Amino acid sequence: MKETMDSILDQKYPFVTTAMPIQFNECTPNTSEATLKNHYEYLNKYVNGLNKLMEENEGYKSWSIKKILTNYSQIPIDLEDDFIENAGGIFNHEALFGVLCKPNMKEIKGKLADDLVRKYGSIENFKTEIKQAAMDIIGVGYACLVLDENGELTIITVENQENPIMYGMKPIFMIDLWEHAYYLDVQVNKAKYLDDQFNIIDWDKIEQLYNDYLKEM
């Protein structure tokens, strides 16, 4: 799984929209086909946006998505937000789409489960805390389970298309709180959307990613 994340981060100009890893109707009823197609179009928007930025600012054509997200302070201030939005938009969407699956009610297990219980008391408490973090987001962004700089599991939120990588953290699980991720299905009922998300995540992939990150610590 980490190899997949690395391949997203290593992308360079010209950027291309990757194929959706699953069929658009495979997440129903938790996420509708219409919503997933709409969500995927946003990935295409960010790909086109980053290509346009590169063409207008050729000095950055050799920069990968990872370099943009970890060296954004080297980008002129009037361009910084545009680069972060589009590079982050690509990474965030591809990382999210890569762990979607058919509704399965899979349990979080293995070392990830053990460490979440150690940190939050139970898996249900973890779900409650990340859900609350997501509900508290004002505007748009992501609620994220990360490994922080000290190798500790932590729940954080980021705004817009920012990403934990920008702050020296490793994203393990992210929940998209942009309206296009849920509005067609549940309108303003974010709580239902958040509950539904836990049912269409391949937790085996999430655990694999967590274990891969731990090997690097």
Residue among 175, 99, 180, 192 nearest 130 (CA): 175
| pLDDT value of position 62 | 97
The ranges assigned to domains in the chain are 2-97, 110-216
CATH of span 110-216: 3.55.40.20
| pLDDT value of position 47 | 98
Across 96-115, b (16+ Cβ under 10 Å) vs e yields bbbbbbeeeeeebeeebbeb
Q: Per residue in 94-128, pLDDT tens?
A: 999 999 999 987 789 999 999 999 999 999 999 99
211 pLDDT above the threshold of 80: yes
Q: Per residue in 157-176, pLDDT tens?
A: 999 999 999 999 999 999 99
Residue among 80, 89, 95, 8 nearest 44 (CA): 89
Confidence of residue 55 (pLDDT cuts 50, 70, 90): very high
Residue 7, C-beta contacts closer than 8 angstroms, at least 6 positions apart? none
